Chains A and B, each alone.
Chain A
Amino acid sequence: MPYLLTDEQQQISAEARRLLTDTYSGERLRALLDAPCGHDQAFWAACQEMGWTGAAMPEAYGGLGLGPVELGLIALECGRVVAGAPYLATSYAVAEALRLWGDDDVKAGRLPDLAAGELKGAVALCEGAGDIVPAVPAARLVAGRLHGTKRWVVGGAGADLAIVLASEPGGGACLALADLRGDGVTRQATRTLDNTRGVADLTFDATPAVRLQAGDARAAAGALLQRLATITAFEQLGGAEACLEAARDYAAQRHAFGQPIGKFQGIKHKIAEMYVLNELARGNALRAAQSVADELPDLPLRAAAARLSATSAYEFAAAEAIQVHGAIGVTWEHDLHLHYRRARATALELGPTAAWEDLIIDILVEAA
């Protein structure tokens, strides 16, 4: 049944929360911030052990055969603990690309290792500042080999496989699967707002790659972004929930002027507003996940709505949770800046916000 979580789904959430809360370490996460392009290996090992790496991948290829709602619920719990790796979402997007547009060989060859978390994936679309999907990619696929540079690739630092948007001789574009472990790939790690996102530039020099049968490659890239936006919306919502709870708990115990600061409406209304934005974000995230699961044609609208709501909710919650905490909130030692960084990073990774707004408007204008 759509939107209502089944007992099994609630159990997945509860299990994920228990495990991730137990293994959470703000210290470990802060250490990762100092080292560009590392990721939390203990977290990834836990994902593998729980089977989350293949949560929404087909059972025939070693996945759990669950859907995007379940993966979203896991991502939500990862977001709550600012999990130190982006690969649950990025590997899922790569697996989706292979499921939708790969031939049997590539599916049989890659999906089981992706599902097991032995291989990690990334989606490489962007080539510079601004649009995430270049109008005419400078990267090229010629005779099965990739040339050119993809920039700001989330997970590019640790990924083994990448889906690459490239031009082809004759003027078209395509999506290709590249193995990043082989020869002809240079990774340039970049310091970013949130170093655990593993952002890197990938340069291909005659790298062997498999062309996917994705039809209109720019539309296919959009379909992958919409899946990433949907799963990321859950992750953002989880982060926003954690910020709300931190702000609420602090406001209830911190005293000033002879009373808990949570009694002041200037504080409590801020926190109530977090709740309002978070619930809007949850509504849209669940609906988008349902559209992915049911392969509904309204996915672009639903994913864009989920992205706008989740981004607003997380950015508001992260910024205002710091505000509620006062000066302690802006110290390195406090975990809130992990959320503040993650909120901004996740708001940027999938392209300019304006592009998601335009996606909605273009469809509404068409329909009007």
Chain B
Amino acid sequence: MDAALSPELEAYRRRARAFVEQNAPAYGREARRGLSEAEDLALGRAWLRLKAENGYAGITLPRAYGGGGGTDLEQILFVQEEARHGFPTEYFAIGLGMPIPMLLRYGTEEQKRALVPPAIRGETIWCQIFSEPGGGSDVGAFRLKARREGAGWVLSGQKVWISWAQYSDYGVIVTRTDTSVAKHKGLTYFFVDLRAPGVTVRPIRQLHGRSDFNEIFFDEVRVSDSCRLGAVGDGFKLAVETLMIERYTAAADETGGGPPLETLVGLAKATPYRGRPAIEDGRVRSGIARAYAVQQALIAIHQRSLLELAAGRTPGPEGSIHKYAGARERRRLAGLALDILGPAGVAFDPAAGAKADFAMSFMDVATLRIAGGSDEMLLNTVAEKILGLPQDYRPDKGVPFDQIPTG
């Protein structure tokens, strides 16, 4: 962020920087070193509580519910400062980013007062329960069943790839309430208590050995109708709305969540190739220079979005390429870094962080290319929504859900 900001925002950034720098030793990267995941989570809760006490948790959420009452820009500035120090924020980012804002939009006053403040203080964690074995990218294909029983609903079925559900107390969920209508029309959105009888959360071990995501089984789980968000049949609309909330505010990281480019330059200087530093090799130089150009472009695009927001305008659609382009470059760079190391590149520390370690970055980026909209879905969206190309061939379009072939 070197773009011009108003004096008020500059002052906000200075205060935010002072706050995170003051607390980095106790809660940041160094403090986390060697902790078990349970200890790390506890540290994360403590950090979130401290932020809440200082107005830096749920920055854009209303003060009445424990939030900071701030703007998108303030949140972006704070997250940029916070990201420098490796704080344990990952367990809470999804919950405060999407499910809680949805509860604030569609929940009752009583629900909001009871549930939002503890989430902002880190006492409860919320997850987003969307994907299923038979539908991830295809949001309209969800089939986990919710049937009416008395004044409430009964949920049965399976969800999968749910980040941090193993630590979550609540989640927002998209269910199938009507199979006789077209697939987008028969969905309904709820929030559920994951401690309720019949809910089983099972962590899934990922390719890098850790478990960020889970499968969740719902076996005749009773849910009150008061936990329904939006109208019956509006689930698709709310699901898309959920995914759109963080469009501009999600932390913009030009490395796509991998190690910074300086780390690679340092590694290429320190590693020999043909008796000379690898950084003198043209292929290495080309790879790094091209990644630099992409990363700088992502910074430029992000800065322009911020300035648009600051000017009260809607940022252009080009921000939507960030994850796609960032992840691609991260994959290339991680591969290049390991290539430079040669046989030593095979070393793998399952406890390493993706922002500090190229082997972990390489493993973990495989997830990033799928999570939150796969590369292919993103290209479809660019082609159809931005460029106006005709929609893909979709044989299930308009067909009642119970007549769509499965397999």
Given A248-B389, A252-B390, A356 and B289 contact (CB-CB distance below 8 Å): yes
Given A275-B387, A365-B265, A302 and B307 contact (CB-CB distance below 8 Å): no
**Which residues of B369-386 are within 8 A (CB) of A?**
376, 378-380, 382-384, 386
Q: How many Å from the CB of B324 to the closest CB on chain A?
A: 6
Residues from chain B with Cβ under 8 Å of A262 in the complex: 383, 389-390
Task: Decide: B262 and A272 in contact? CB cutoff 8 A.
Answer: no
Q: How many Å from the CB of A294 to the closest CB on chain B?
A: 11
Task: Decide: A4 and B393 in contact? CB cutoff 8 A.
Answer: no
Q: Is residue B292 within 8 Å, beta carbon to beta carbon, of the partner chain?
A: yes
Residue among A308, A358, A368 with most chain B CB within 10 A: A368
Residues from chain A with Cβ under 8 Å of B301 in the complex: 279-280, 282-283
B11-19, B278-286, B338-346, B352-360: which lies at the A interface?
Answer: B278-286
Task: Decide: B297 and A284 in contact? CB cutoff 8 A.
Answer: yes
Q: How many Å from the CB of B142 to the closest CB on chain A?
A: 23
Give CA–CA (A308, B287) in the complex, Å. 12
Q: Is residue B290 within 8 Å, beta carbon to beta carbon, of the partner chain?
A: yes
Given A4-B311, A280-B325, A284-B293, A364 and B288 contact (CB-CB distance below 8 Å): yes
Give CA–CA (A126, B303) in the complex, Å. 37
**Which residues of B271-311 are within 8 A (CB) of A?**
279, 282, 285-286, 288-290, 292-294, 296-301, 303-304, 307-308, 311
Q: How many Å from the CB of A31 to the closest CB on chain B?
A: 32
Task: Decide: A2 and B3 in contact? CB cutoff 8 A.
Answer: yes
Interface residues of B toward A: which range?
Answer: 35 or more
Task: Decide: B321 and A275 in contact? CB cutoff 8 A.
Answer: yes
Task: Decide: A3 and B303 in contact? CB cutoff 8 A.
Answer: yes
Give CA–CA (A361, B376) in the complex, Å. 32
Across the interface, B292 reaches (CB within 8 A) one of A263, A279, A364, namely: A364
Residues from chain B with Cβ under 8 Å of A327 in the complex: none
Q: Is residue A215 within 8 Å, beta carbon to beta carbon, of the partner chain?
A: no
Task: Decide: A263 and B392 in contact? CB cutoff 8 A.
Answer: yes
Which secondary structure dominates where chain A touches chain B?
helix
Q: Is residue B7 within 8 Å, beta carbon to beta carbon, of the partner chain?
A: no
Residue of B nearest to A253 (CB): B390
Q: Is residue B395 within 8 Å, beta carbon to beta carbon, of the partner chain?
A: no
Give CA–CA (A81, B270) in the complex, Å. 48
Task: Decide: B290 and A248 in contact? CB cutoff 8 A.
Answer: no
Q: How many Å from the CB of B82 to the closest CB on chain A?
A: 24
Give CA–CA (A361, B290) in the complex, Å. 10
Q: How many Å from the CB of A309 to the closest CB on chain B?
A: 5
**Which residues of B100-156 are within 8 A (CB) of A?**
none
Q: Is residue A334 within 8 Å, beta carbon to beta carbon, of the partner chain?
A: no
Residues from chain B with Cβ under 8 Å of A283 in the complex: 296-301, 304, 318
Q: How many chain A residues touch B (Cβ–Cβ < 8 Å)? A: 45
Give CA–CA (A287, B279) in the complex, Å. 27
Q: Is residue B34 within 8 Å, beta carbon to beta carbon, of the partner chain?
A: no
Residue among A263, A272, A273, A312 with most chain B CB within 10 A: A272
Q: Is residue A41 within 8 Å, beta carbon to beta carbon, of the partner chain?
A: no
Task: Decide: B279 and A365 in contact? CB cutoff 8 A.
Answer: yes
Across the interface, A280 reaches (CB within 8 A) one of B289, B297, B308, B383, namely: B297
Residues from chain A with Cβ under 8 Å of B290 in the complex: 308, 312, 357
Q: How many Å from the CB of A230 to the closest CB on chain B?
A: 13
Given A252-B390, A259-B393, A281-B297, A269 and B376 contact (CB-CB distance below 8 Å): yes
Q: Is residue A251 within 8 Å, beta carbon to beta carbon, of the partner chain?
A: yes
Q: Is residue B269 within 8 Å, beta carbon to beta carbon, of the partner chain?
A: yes
Task: Decide: A252 and B389 in contact? CB cutoff 8 A.
Answer: yes
Q: Is residue A85 within 8 Å, beta carbon to beta carbon, of the partner chain?
A: no
Given A1-B307, A3-B307, A279-B301, A358 and B388 contact (CB-CB distance below 8 Å): no
Q: How many Å from the CB of B181 to the closest CB on chain A?
A: 25
Q: Is residue B266 within 8 Å, beta carbon to beta carbon, of the partner chain?
A: yes
Residue among A1, A259, A262 with most chain B CB within 10 A: A262
Given A284-B296, A309-B297, A271 and B311 contact (CB-CB distance below 8 Å): no
Task: Decide: A248 and B288 in contact? CB cutoff 8 A.
Answer: no
Give CA–CA (A282, B56) in the complex, Å. 34
Give CA–CA (A52, B293) in the complex, Å. 29
Residues from chain B with Cβ under 8 Å of A154 in the complex: none
Could you tell me which B residues sit within 8 Å of A by CB distance?
Answer: 3-4, 261-262, 265-266, 269, 279, 282, 285-286, 288-290, 292-294, 296-301, 303-304, 307-308, 311, 318, 321, 324-325, 376, 378-380, 382-384, 386-393
Sampled A-B contacts (9; CB under 8 Å): A2-B4, A272-B380, A275-B382, A286-B304, A309-B294, A309-B297, A354-B282, A354-B286, A361-B279
Given contacts A4-B308, A357-B286, A364-B261, 11 further A-B pairs with CB under 8 A are A248-B387, A262-B383, A271-B387, A272-B379, A272-B387, A280-B298, A281-B297, A301-B296, A309-B297, A365-B279, A368-B269
